[in-house]
Structure 1
Amino acid sequence: MPEHSLSRPDVSPAVAWLRTPAAIRERCHQLLDLGLAGKLTHFRVEPSRLPAVVDAVLDVTREAYPALDIPLHSRWRHFDAGGVKRVEELESRLRDATPQERARAKLDLAVVSVLLDAGSGPRWRYREQGGGTWARSEGLAVASFRMFMDGVFSSDPDWPLRADSEALGRLTRESLARGLQVSDSNPLDGLEGRLHLMHGLSKVLPRPGALHDIVVAQGHSARASELLGLVLELLGPIWPGRVMVDAVNLGDVWPHSALGPVESVDALVPFHKLSQWLTYSLVEPLAEAGVRVVELDGLTGLPEYRNGGLFVDLGVLVPRDAGLTQQVLHPSEEPIVEWRALTVALLDRVAALVRGRLGMSNEELPLGKVLQGGTWTAGRKVAAELRPGGVPPIRVESDGTVF
């Protein structure tokens, strides 16, 4: 597949570059280099603590995957939360569909569920009918799965297992709250932001599963970085107004003053967390449709509070102001930008160290599997050991569109 064949070069070079995983890595590693030199304002970096992180990651990985048959970190893991085989339930309902329609339906589910997946806040829970009670990312996965299975995102009563622009566009705050079981006693952070994303999604694609047709039209393989570029191009308009470059809303991209004047492109640090989470989650449905996503290590680690919290809790990242752990900050605030950037760069280092300890290659253990094994689970486990409810060490105000 030719370079960039999945996306159209109709944006400026600066915007095109900021949409690449290479840009994410370059800017995040710039900040890590500054941190290692003691030149960052908000965090001190202690590389001597990295072995403790590697130990924690290997412990949870071996516990969950003793044969090291680690799947890719994606939304599909969360759908089967608690060992309940919900994906098999979906497969059964789709058994009479064509392979193409099965792929479209799975992409519909993955896209909608990931866009509803930003941080829930500490109090929200989802009670599954006849089943368990789930919180945070798994709760949002199970809730969105049940909404999908109930046809909430489809305008066609004869084909409920889909998401389409008509149904997404007419989704109301009340119907979304009902599906997510939100109430005064069960509050969810960022409900309005999630609704905004659903309405935005309705305007950019006839249905999320159309991604299948766009990708398949290009051949039987796609680079992960190209797939991310396609996601960022197609979904770019749905994000709330943020940093603009050349009249393009960049989404999850924020300035850091250590890199240059904050009004300049040089200062911008791209993360594209939800878009990368979505890209990881498209790999398996596309593979079932005959499209192999290659060069998965082109994507970066995900800068969210479990991965980032792991480095803070185990002493790799030390806040210079101890009060940082007592505040709730907005994603745009520089301590959060710094924390997220350092997290991305450090995840690359942890992945290399984990592979070294296990004697595995990049191909055998791509970063996406280290995350799954892995860093996300270790971050949650350590947080639960240190604080009631597993609250992350640094708290971010969630508007339902970033974390």
Structure 2
Amino acid sequence: MSDSSLARNDLSPAVAWLRTPSAIRERCHQLLDLGLAGRLAHFRVEPSRLPAVVDTVLAVTRESYPTLDIPLHSRWGHFDAGGVARVEELNDRLKDATPQERARAKLDLVVVSVLLDAGSGPKWRYRERGGGTWARSEGLAVASFRMFMDGVFSSDPDRPLRADAEALGRLTREALAQGMQVSDSNPLDGLEGRLHLMHGLAKVLPRPGALFDIITAQRRSVRAAELLGLVLEVLGPIWPGRVMVDAVNLGDVWPHSALGPVESVEALVPFHKLSQWMTYSLVEPLAEAGVVVTELDGLTGLPEYRNGGLFVDLGVLVPRDARITTVAMHPGDEPIVEWRALTVALLDRVAALVRGRLGMTAEELPLGKVLQGGTWAAGRRVAAEKRPGGVPPIRVDSDGTVF
């Protein structure tokens, strides 16, 4: 069975392969091998600093999860930011729904929320009604959760707890800005890009929750790699035009010249960060409805600024040019591609070292739990210790569709 057997089988071999987690791993580890040999243009790799990363990750993990009962890294943890039981609030409002409709509603929420989750920028904040003020990923989670609970993404006033193509397709920039509390004094990076994704989502699915029906039409269990293949297939058309291979827009896939001529397939490094983040986030609502997602370690670590920043801040990745840490770059700039690829490969190494220190197996502590425990929180903490506001060590100009 191929990695993407839930998806269509008429793709060219190159495109089909670039949509697999194994392709992400292979290309990222190729770049790590080059980095360890001192053959990369933008970063030096200092493996002697990895124990410091592991120490930090373990300290943060034990503080947050003293019994090591760690949930999977997913959007669902962000919805309960600040210890507020928002997911329980959603469950209460869905208590009379069938298990299938509850799963569709939760998929509606989480797909929309993940697509609205790309980096917010340093100035944006969301003030919850009667509650706290949230920034960055948690702020985007709480904002999208409240918009969902208010029925912003539903075209049926009698069924507010859903997202559907009609409402998503007619969503305006003003309505999205209002829901996200965007203003001149509270700017959000990539608002137009996020709106583009909502409109694109309206064109590919009657509602995001329809993914549940696509999956369960064939089986009651699905491998994580297959689920990612489905997400990439269904959502592929919504991404801004980037690298094309065999007339297919690849999305979060970028060339690196160390792997081959930049116009060749051999040079392409796939990441699929938002799609993998979404795949991790589909696991819990599917499980609640009796659909088991297996082989979660088939997915990779997420190449974003918290995980990647951890390696820069603790000296594992050393920029060869100081401008990498002072000038904001675009996702396709080669230093950013290199940084993200090294991050994915190094996360595999950190996960193995963390398991070794804890005496746990990959089944007991899959990569998704190491991320949650874990590397993401450690990256945030170290950034906060080093720079005001926890600004990442490397800045990327976000269009709202990558980070």
Length-normalised TM-score, structure 2: 0.99
Q: 1:378 maps to what in 2?
A: 378
For residue 92 of structure 2, what is the amino acid of its counterpart?
S
For residue 211 of structure 1, what is the amino acid of its counterpart?
L
Query: For 1:219 and 1:336, how far apart are their aligned partners in 2?
Result: 39
Which digits, 9 at most, give the CA deviation of each residue in 1:172-223, with x for residues without a partner? 0000000000000000000000000000000000000001111111111100
| SS in structure 1 at match of 2:119 | coil
Shift of 1:362: 0.4
Shift of 1:5: 3.0
Q: 1:339 maps to what in 2?
A: 339
Q: 2:391 maps to what in 1?
A: 391
For residue 349 of structure 1, what is the amino acid of its counterpart?
R
Which digits, 9 at most, give the CA deviation of each residue in 1:225-244, with x for residues without a partner? 00000000000000000000
Equivalent residue runs for 1:313-332 within 5 Å: 313-332=313-332
Query: For 1:273 and 1:3, how far apart are their aligned partners in 2?
Result: 17
Query: For 1:257 and 1:168, how far apart are their aligned partners in 2?
Result: 39
Q: Closer, same or farther in 2 for the Cα pair 1:2/1:380, shift >3 Å?
A: closer
Q: 1:84 maps to what in 2?
A: 84
Shift of 1:323: 2.0
Q: 1:218 maps to what in 2?
A: 218
Query: For 1:192 and 1:311, how far apart are their aligned partners in 2?
Result: 31
Q: 1:112 maps to what in 2?
A: 112
8 Å contact from structure 1 (residues 5, 218) kept in 2: no
Query: For 2:32 and 2:286, how far apart are their aligned partners in 1?
Result: 34
For residue 301 of structure 1, what is the amino acid of its counterpart?
G
For residue 203 of structure 1, what is the amino acid of its counterpart?
K
Which digits, 9 at most, give the CA deviation of each residue in 1:301-337, with x for residues without a partner? 0000000000000000000011211000000000000
Say which is worse superposed, 355-364 or 4-13, in terms of deviation: 4-13
Matched, 1:281 2:277: no
The runs of 5 or more residues in structure 1 that have no matched partner are none
Q: 1:254 maps to what in 2?
A: 254
Equivalent residue runs for 1:62-81 within 5 Å: 62-81=62-81
8 Å contact from structure 2 (residues 253, 272) kept in 1: yes
Q: 2:367 maps to what in 1?
A: 367
Shift of 1:400: 0.2
Equivalent residue runs for 1:349-368 within 5 Å: 349-368=349-368
Q: Closer, same or farther in 2 for the Cα pair 1:218/1:2, shift >3 Å?
A: farther
Shift of 1:80: 0.0
Equivalent residue runs for 1:116-265 within 5 Å: 116-265=116-265
For residue 46 of structure 1, what is the amino acid of its counterpart?
E
Query: For 1:152 and 1:233, how far apart are their aligned partners in 2?
Result: 26
For residue 299 of structure 2, what is the amino acid of its counterpart?
L
| SS in structure 2 at match of 1:254 | strand
Say which is worse superposed, 7-16 or 262-271, in terms of deviation: 7-16
Size of the aligned set, in residue pairs, is: 403
Query: For 1:253 and 1:4, how far apart are their aligned partners in 2?
Result: 17
Query: For 1:186 and 1:370, how far apart are their aligned partners in 2?
Result: 33
For residue 65 of structure 1, what is the amino acid of its counterpart?
Y
Q: 1:47 maps to what in 2?
A: 47
For residue 116 of structure 1, what is the amino acid of its counterpart?
L
Q: 2:19 maps to what in 1?
A: 19
Query: For 1:326 and 1:386, how far apart are their aligned partners in 2?
Result: 15
| SS in structure 2 at match of 1:44 | strand
Query: For 2:275 and 2:61, how far apart are their aligned partners in 1?
Result: 25
For residue 215 of structure 2, what is the amino acid of its counterpart?
V
Shift of 1:141: 0.1
For residue 320 of structure 2, what is the amino acid of its counterpart?
R
| SS in structure 2 at match of 1:354 | helix
Matched, 1:59 2:59: yes
Shift of 1:3: 5.9
| SS in structure 2 at match of 1:58 | helix
| SS in structure 2 at match of 1:329 | coil
8 Å contact from structure 2 (residues 3, 20) kept in 1: no
Q: 1:95 maps to what in 2?
A: 95
Query: For 2:2 and 2:386, how far apart are their aligned partners in 1?
Result: 49
Say which is worse superposed, 318-327 or 187-196, in terms of deviation: 318-327
Shift of 1:2: 7.4
Query: For 1:4 and 1:290, how far apart are their aligned partners in 2?
Result: 21
For residue 263 of structure 1, what is the amino acid of its counterpart?
E
Q: Closer, same or farther in 2 for the Cα pair 1:204/1:52, shift >3 Å?
A: same
Question: Cα RMSD between the aligned structures?
Answer: 0.7
For residue 252 of structure 1, what is the amino acid of its counterpart?
D
8 Å contact from structure 2 (residues 4, 228) kept in 1: no
8 Å contact from structure 2 (residues 4, 20) kept in 1: no
Identity fraction in percent? 87
The runs of 5 or more residues in structure 2 that have no matched partner are none
| SS in structure 1 at match of 2:122 | coil
For residue 317 of structure 2, what is the amino acid of its counterpart?
L
Matched, 1:301 2:304: no
Query: For 2:322 and 2:48, how far apart are their aligned partners in 1?
Result: 20
